[in-house]
Structures are given as structure tokens and as C-alpha cells.
Amino acid sequence: MNQKQVFGILIAVILLFGLAMSGKHFIQQEPYQITTETFSQGEATLKYPQLHGLKDPVKEKAINALIRDDLKSQVNLDSIGPIDIFELDLNYQVTLHTPELLSILYTGTSTYYTGRPDVRSSCRISDDIYATTIDLHRMERLKLSDFMDINMDLVRKIKQSENVTNEAVKSGYISKEQMQTIVKDVSDEYLLDDLTSDDHRAYYAFCLTPDSFLVSTSIASALGNYVLIEVDCPNASWNAA
């Protein structure tokens, strides 16, 4: 092998190493498994994911506690009155899981009875939605603003999406086209407040998929309480700032 060939091989190795190191998501792969845990309080049942198999057991415990506690904080079962009854069956879908990020969407139906526990005459039935996105390295809950600028351009992009759904759309009670019209009628300012609020606003949720993000916002209870809107991001490279 002559000097020119050796030099060519060296350059190729350097280029391949540079490409590997320059990737925005380049980290040491740490596989993990996801299992389902259940939390019950009164007549409310919450199902949520837990991670297993991380190399650092302290980190794994902290992440699992964050998942559980964030969901309990959003649902806030402790706010239920002492003589009221809150029935809830909440399930989850992991919409994104990578070595860096975990995104979870929770949906379910609740019935809230007020008054004497033996007389269930006054109740409110609601389709409920919650979500959690976590930076698995920093062990922090993330918001949409950690991934993109929140402004009126983004609000308009969300409202133009054709990917809208909720339980009313899935059941055929209302068409997707009708729901698109309802989304367009949501106030720009109201949706912007959803996207920028630090509080758990009712029926607002945010999560990621590999090539899109999803947000929900409140609508009339007769139409399902919330609408879930998916915005395509075909070149998404999710990485917390």
C-alpha cells in the first residue's frame, strides 16, 4: 500500500468519524423497556408507563417518579370534594421514545358526581386528555416552547392542520371536516395562551411523535371537551434546547 492510499484511507476514517459525532442526536444508546403501572384513588384509575433497564438505577427511579407525579399533578385527584365521587379510567399511549425523549399522551372519560355518595343524580361526564414530555437526560418535563418559538405564526399553522380528532370524531358524531371548522373558530389569543401557559390549563396537552407534534385545546363539551390537533414536521429533529 503506497503513501497515497494510506492518506486516502485516513481521510475517509476522519470523515466518517466527523459525520458520526456531528449528528444532533448523537449520544450513547441506552435501551430501556416500558411497562404499565396503575394508580388508583377512590373510583379513579390511572394507567401510566414506567421505564426499566436503564444503567443508572437512581436515574431510572427519578424518571419514573417524575412520570407518575406529573400525571397525578395534572389530574389532581386531591381536589375532589369529600362527599363527591370522581370516576375516571385513564389510559396512555407512548407517542415518542428515544434515548433522549419520552412523550406520553393520556386519554380517558370521567364522570364527576356531586352531593351524597348514595345519590348519583347530579354528574358531569367529560372526555379528558393529558400529556407529558420528558428530557430523559436532564430528568425534566418539557413544553412546546423547548422545541420551537411560540408565536402567532405557529398558532395559524396549528389551526390550518387537517389532522384533528377527538372521541366525537372517532365515533362519527361529528365529521373531521366539521371539527376543522371548529378549530379555525378557536380564538388565536386563546390558543396562544394554551401554548405559553406554565399552568395545567384544562384540556390543553402537548406531545411529540417522530415526525409531528400534537396539541389539544378546549372546545364545547357537547363536541367532546377538547380537540387534538396534529401538525406534521417531516424534518423534525427533536432535541430540547
CB 200 within 8 A of CB 131: no
- How sure is the predictor about 190, in pLDDT bands with cuts at 50, 70 and 90? very high
pTM above 0.75, yes or no: yes
Which of 196, 194, 204 lies closest to 150, judged by CA? 196
- How sure is the predictor about 3, in pLDDT bands with cuts at 50, 70 and 90? low
Q: Using one digit for the tens of pLDDT, what is the confidence trace for 219-237? A: 998 899 999 999 999 887 7
CB 161 within 8 A of CB 224: no
The residue with greater pLDDT, 113 or 141, is: 141
CB 207 within 8 A of CB 103: yes
The residue with greater pLDDT, 192 or 82, is: 192
What is the percentage of the chain residues whose pLDDT exceeds 90?
65
Which of 61, 72, 77, 62 lies closest to 132, judged by CA? 72
Considering only the top CATH level, what class is 28-142?
alpha beta
List the 140-141 sheet strands across, edge first. 33-41, 44-52, 85-97, 101-113, 123-135, 140-141
Rounded mean pLDDT of 1-11? Answer: 48
Residue 204 CB coordination number (10 Å): 20
The secondary structure of residue 193, as a DSSP letter, is H
Rounded mean pLDDT of 215-220? Answer: 94
Residue 21 reports pLDDT greater than 90: no
- How sure is the predictor about 145, in pLDDT bands with cuts at 50, 70 and 90? very high
Measure the CA–CA gap between 94 and 116, rounded to whole angstroms: 38
Rounded mean pLDDT of 186-204? Answer: 89
Q: What is the pLDDT of residue 85?
A: 75
Rounded mean pLDDT of 172-199? Answer: 93
The residue with greater pLDDT, 16 or 75, is: 75
Measure the CA–CA gap between 7 and 14, rounded to whole angstroms: 11
Measure the CA–CA gap between 66 and 50, rounded to whole angstroms: 10
Q: Which of 111-120, 158-167, 227-236 has the highest mean pLDDT?
A: 158-167
Checking phi first, is residue 189 left (phi over 0); if not, alpha (psi -120 to 50) or beta?
alpha
Q: What is the pLDDT of residue 191?
A: 95
Which residue ranges make up each domain of the chain?
Answer: 28-142, 144-241
Measure the CA–CA gap between 86 and 73, rounded to whole angstroms: 16
Q: What is the pLDDT of residue 237?
A: 72
Average pLDDT of the residues of the chain = 84
CB 226 within 8 A of CB 218: yes
